[in-house]
Amino acid sequence: MTLKNQKHLFEIPEDVAYLNIASQSPAFKKVYEAGLQGLYEKKHPYKLQSSDFFEPVIELKKLFSKLIDADDYNRIATIPSVSYGFATVTNNIVLKENDEILILAEQFPSNFYSWKKLTEKYNASLKVIKATDDASNRTEHWNESILKHINKNTAVIAMGNIHWSNGSLFNLKGISKKAKEHNALLIIDGSQSIGALPFSIKDIKPDALICAGYKWLFGPYGCAYAYFGEYFDNGNPIEENWANRLNSEDLTKLTKYQPKYKPLANRYSVGESGNFIYVKMQIEALKQVIEWTPKAIQDYCKHISSEAVKELINLGCIIEDDKFRTHHLFGIKLPEKLNIDTLKKDLIDKNIFVSFRGNYIRISSHLYNTKNDFKPLISSIAAHL
């Protein structure tokens, strides 16, 4: 499937080069309209039915299940944030003193603090795997180092499918295989990959997948998703949400307190997960992402960025080899002599939106971008050199 530019679905001005969806996605028109419909329902609450609290959430879970190739939507929980998902995961893990949790250097804070707190609670160890300083084959060596550090003491491996700041692509199949050989849990942060990079629960077999919804999945800020595998089937949620209990659909019997949860991951969904505005927006967003397909999105981003990558490398920038990074998100290491602060101001003045991470620029593009969006960025970098 080959996709054409989809900018007509968005409201991005012609003079704006938005290369920062990894921070926050723009809403396309159907998502915006779905939010307005949710607001309308809030305006007329007397039109709501009890089924409105539940059926849209089930539809949403089924859509996310389809996107990640999971068979059972009951393994999906709708949550408000990635940190909520990791808090749920760590709430259900008990460690021994010699256990190790393996994470990657410079992970996003939400995927660091929870693990640090858990190791401190049980006097276990947090092992941070760093990338080498070698610019050539950096990610290949990083993957080798991760595999080498998985051993009999490894209790948990917590990492992203890619590195959130530079798009380094990790060998999740190999890591999953070795994790299972040592009975270690594999917990994946899919926030910067799910929706823009093909992913299959059946292939990777993670014990949990936590994913922000407001980036590549085009949902509103304040929504996220979680997949929970068998390890968490009978765990403890971090809150007691009435809607997560068995037979909660019958609102006339809510005070006939139910000791049982709904099956599998339903117990972990956040309270008020039937949010009429958010759920409508998320449903429209996931429908569109599924129609586009992550593979086609990835191919499109490669097509529009490949020439720009060559030009940037010719300017002295360092970009990871294609084989070891993604195309929807990648890092540009700027030449040392370039003044970051003046470049940053220049890009803002010219309506070029990227993320700065130290001496790196993080580029993240989507179907609303074209090859032309990279030209003013390249020109600005060249001018500052």
Q: Which tens digits make up the pLDDT trace of 280-327?
A: 999 999 999 999 999 999 999 999 999 999 999 999 999 999 999 999
Of the candidates 116, 106, 111, the one whose C-alpha atom is nearest the C-alpha of residue 142 is 106
Could you tell me the CA-to-CA distances from 137 to 124, 134, 175 in Å, in that order?
32, 7, 18
Residues 6+ apart with CB under 8 A from 1: 293, 295, 296
pLDDT of residue 81: 98
Rounded CA separation 364/238 (Å): 33
Q: What DSSP line would sit under 306-355, residue for residue? A: HHHHHHHHHTT-B---GGGB-SSEEEEEPPTTS-HHHHHHHHHHTTEE-E
Q: Is the pLDDT of residue 136 over 70?
A: no
The secondary element (H helix, E strand) that includes residue 298 is: helix 294-314
Q: Is the pLDDT of residue 61 over 90?
A: yes
pLDDT of residue 358: 73
Cα dihedral sign, 136-140-143-148: negative
pLDDT of residue 135: 62
Q: In angstroms, how far is CA 154 from the centroid of its own chain?
A: 24
Give 154 or 49, the one with higher predicted confidence. Answer: 154
Rounded CA separation 148/178 (Å): 10
Q: Is the pLDDT of residue 138 over 90?
A: no
DSSP code at position 78: E
Question: 7-26+294-384 has which CATH code?
Answer: 3.90.1150.10
pLDDT of residue 77: 98
- For strand 352-353 and strand 17-18, is the pairing parallel, antiparallel, or unpaired? parallel
pLDDT of residue 137: 80
pLDDT of residue 20: 98
CB 100 within 8 A of CB 127: yes
CB 128 within 8 A of CB 105: yes
pLDDT of residue 336: 87
Q: What 3-state class would DSSP assign to 76?
A: strand
Q: Which tens digits make up the pLDDT trace of 74-122?
A: 999 999 999 999 999 999 999 999 999 999 999 999 999 999 999 999 9
Q: Give the start-to-end residue ranges of the domains of the chain.
A: 7-26+294-384, 40-291
Q: Which tens digits make up the pLDDT trace of 318-372?
A: 999 999 999 999 999 999 888 999 999 999 999 999 999 877 899 999 999 999 9
Residue recorded with tokens 């060249």? 382
The rounded percent of the chain whose pLDDT value lies above 90 is 94
pLDDT of residue 134: 65
- The pLDDT of 128-148, averaged and rounded, is 88
Q: Hey, do 7-26+294-384 and 40-291 end up sharing a CATH topology, with the first three levels equal?
A: no
Residues 6+ apart with CB under 8 A from 337: 385
Domain 40-291, CATH class in plain words: alpha beta
Rounded CA separation 84/93 (Å): 15
